[in-house]
Amino acid sequence: MVEAVNDYLEQQTLTKPSIPVADMIELATKYGTPFYLIDQPTLISSLRELEDSYRGYSGLVRITYSMKANFNSIVVRTFIKENLLFDITSVGELFFYLKCSGKPENIIYTSVTEEEEELAEVLSAGVDRLVVSSFNGLTNLINASESLGLAPSVMIRVNPEVGVRAEVKASYRQGKFGVTLSGSSLDTASTLLKKIMSSVLDFEGFHFHLGSQIENPICFVNALEKLEAFITRMRREYPDLDVKVLDIGGGTPVFYGSPIPTPGEMGSMICPALNSMIERLGTDTTVIVESGRFLSSPACILVSKIVNTKVHGFQKFIFVDAGYHLLLDAALLRQEYPQEVIPPSDQTDHFKLNLAGRLCDTYDIFPISPISKLQGADPGKFVVFRNVGAYSVVFNMPFHCMTKPPILARTSDSEYVLTRRRQTINELFEEEGGNLMIPASGIG
């Protein structure tokens, strides 16, 4: 069963998006390499798959796009048009979202630092649903709301401290995010709840985020159990405590080469747990499912050019004009983005293949996915990296004075459009303050 599912995922990964090889080569000739290409129809088909996976929940489900994964305007505008909620974490993301004509009422604002000025700015922009993750953050939100005469809705971000099998874990014991369900410091869910109940804020419910690229959805079931026990305990003090909204965070994985659960498998384990919890609590709860990676990854490829090769004994090094400055998680998380050489070749290589980036850094070697097809990699050909839409563009950096590559998109009308220009070296020089020498007046 697992094998069959993963064979299916392998097929999907190597064919989605199905951009003709001739088009990729033509775009490479016109725009140069490397470049990212985002396929709008694939953004939408990923969304539909995620929506379908949660049909088993008896109440309302709202899919929410986590903008941190990819803030390119075509991605943001596509999901705004689909009327998704947006998980936004900074005033910068808020600016981009509003510029793309997003509505503030569709935002869930979850700050990590929760400063009063930041929260005041967000509230002034019309955001009326926020998540709090600390006692100080809650105090800042109350102060900002009172000074603006507003009464926004608030969720408490809890850390259920459950074991999570995932590439990136976000709810480990005594971790950075959220507040614990028990404990004696001010930063606990019960203290926050009591403070909210006696404040101008409208308590909406709870939020947790367990991790990214989750490999086993049982952690959601365990987190829900712990949260339900907490709510039951709190009802001794607040018998009418309602949970209008329950945000179960992100984490839906994509296929890089190792077995993962499909969104359907995730939903079929999580929905029954949600249904029983909601039935026992007797609440009419809207469930929020956040997703950054699953919604944005499969739609995007990175096309790079093979610029050199060399052979040492049994090792062949294939050098491409990309590097981890374009795919940071290849170095940070050893992410195995599936790669393929175009035009493809059936030639058999007798070497152990290594895919090397252009950076002068030992870590700039791309891990090779078991489903990669790298045979026949010769200079002048191209290497396409798949499933790169999430946590890639947003981490672009100018190591070695590298400029940002262009982002192209294929729209739902099958037209190719440029959604980010290639940065010029002169622009980078200016941005890096190349010609600045402004005295910091009054200091020193």
Ligand X SMILES: Cc1ncc(COP(=O)(O)O)c(C=O)c1O
Can you give the binding site for ligand X, defined by CB under 6 A? 66, 68-69, 87, 110, 209, 212, 249-252, 290-294, 390
CB of 86 to ligand X, least distance (A): 11
Q: How far apart are CB 214 and ligand X at their closest, in Å?
A: 7
Cβ contacts of residue 163 below 8 Å, gap of 6+? 219, 222
Strand 352-356 vs strand 179-180: parallel, antiparallel, or unpaired? unpaired
Q: How far is the CB of 290 from ligand X (least distance, A)?
A: 4
Task: Tell me if 118 sits within 8 A of 111, measured CB to CB.
Answer: yes
Shortest distance, CB of residue 159 to ligand X, whole angstroms?
11
Residue whose CB is less far from ligand X, 155 or 341: 155
Rounded to the nearest whole angstrom, what is the least distance from the CB of residue 8 to ligand X in the complex?
Answer: 21
**Separation between Cα atoms, residue 39 and residue 61, nearest integer Å:** 25
CB of 395 to ligand X, least distance (A): 13
Nearest to 310 by CA among 389, 377, 216: 377
Q: Cα(405)–Cα(300) distance, rounded to whole angstroms?
A: 14
Q: Is the peptide bond before 343 cis (omega within 30 degrees of 0)?
A: yes
Whether the Cβ atoms of residue 207 and residue 68 lie closer than 8 Å to each other? no
**Beta carbon nearer to ligand X, 42 or 66:** 66
d(CA 85, CA 72): 16
The least distance separating ligand X from the CB of residue 209, rounded to whole angstroms, comes to 4
A 10 A CB-CB count for 423 gives: 16
Nearest position to ligand X, beta carbon:
250
Instruction: Quote the least distance from Cβ 96 to ligand X, whole Å.
Output: 17
Q: Which is nearer to ligand X, 122 or 374 (CB)?
A: 122
Given a contact cutoff of 8 angstroms between Cβ atoms, the answer to whether 108 and 129 are in contact is yes
Give the residue with the Cβ less far from ligand X, 217 or 250: 250
Where would I find the H helices in 113-153? 116-124, 135-148
Q: Which tokens go with 119?
A: 């929260």
Kindly give, in sequence order, each residue whose CB lies less than 8 Å from that of residue 257, ignoring residues fewer than 6 positions away. Answer: 336, 338, 369, 370, 371, 372
Q: Which is nearer to ligand X, 188 or 291 (CB)?
A: 291
Please, which residue, 291 or 304, has the CB nearer to ligand X?
291
The alpha helices in 182-338, defined as continuous H runs, are 189-197, 218-234, 263-281, 293-296, 328-332
Give the residue with the Cβ less far from ligand X, 164 or 277: 164
Report H helices in 39-124: 40-53, 73-81, 91-99, 116-124
Query: In Å, how far from its chain's centre is CA 81?
Result: 19
Q: Which is nearer to ligand X, 110 or 283 (CB)?
A: 110
